A and B are shown apart, each in its own frame.
Chain A
Amino acid sequence: DTAVSQTPKYLVTQMGNDKSIKCEQNLGHDTMYWYKQDSKKFLKIMFSYNNKELIINETVPNRFSPKSPDKAHLNLHINSLELGDSAVYFCASSHLRVDYGYTFGSGTRLTVV
């Protein structure tokens, strides 16, 4: 069973479109995250939710909106996509106490053309 699963794995779309990426974890973790990895492999946190409550909201354009319907799901919706949004987006989960580390999904490669 996949611990943290993201869909879709690949997403190619045109500028200006709206798209969503879904994430689900079956580990019983209470905290979920979205990270963006750019073309130089740099990883930067975007958002974090604990039990459906937003606890980390980095400087991210408001075109990006996370939604957590329950603690096992954290989706990312992106409006009016731009070329610079092209990246790999990783979902991760953990217990709020970080002792166990994060478990990452396999990533969603978003390409905006």
Chain B
Amino acid sequence: AQSVTQLDSQVPVFEEAPVELRCNYSSSVSVYLFWYVQYPNQGLQLLLKYLSGSTLVKGINGFEAEFNKSQTSFHLRKPSVHISDTAEYFCAVKKEAAGNKLTFGGGTRVLVKP
């Protein structure tokens, strides 16, 4: 079975500081990887995805993530956060031939302080 672990449940960070959200997955087969953001009282919005190719993926709102196959990780980073980045962030994995099912990590709450 595949699982997704987000190592930090909450990350406080000051405005304009960098942030990194960690995501590790377990799977013995090829996977596709995603990061979603959930703003308060809203649905989830796709930030970025890794399907194949370059291991550094750039997404919306200045976020990027790096796929590391040997460490089975897909950490999300932003060099300078804004107050508006306060939200819940979810890492998700899809295994090939998994019926298109996305399995989500437990989420990381980012709280940006002025």
Contact = CB atoms under 8 A, between A and B. Distances in A.
A1 interface: no
A106 B43 contact: yes
Interface residues of B, number: 24
- The majority secondary structure among interface residues of chain B is strand
Interface stretch (B20-28, B45-53, B62-70): B45-53
Given A41-B88, A55-B100, 16 more contacts: A41-B109, A42-B106, A48-B100, A48-B101, A56-B100, A90-B43, A90-B44, A92-B44, A94-B100, A98-B32, A101-B49, A102-B44, A104-B36, A105-B43, A106-B42, A107-B42
Interface of B: 32, 34, 36, 38, 41-46, 49, 51, 88, 90, 94, 99-104, 106-107, 109
Interface string A51-80: 000011000000000000000000000000
A45 B32 CA distance: 17
B101 A107 contact: no
- The majority secondary structure among interface residues of chain A is strand
A102 B51 contact: no
Contacts of A98: 32, 94, 100, 102
Given A42-B106, A99-B51, A107 B43 contact: yes
Q: Which of A41, A42, A92, A94 has the most CB of B within 10 A?
A: A41
A34 B64 CA distance: 28
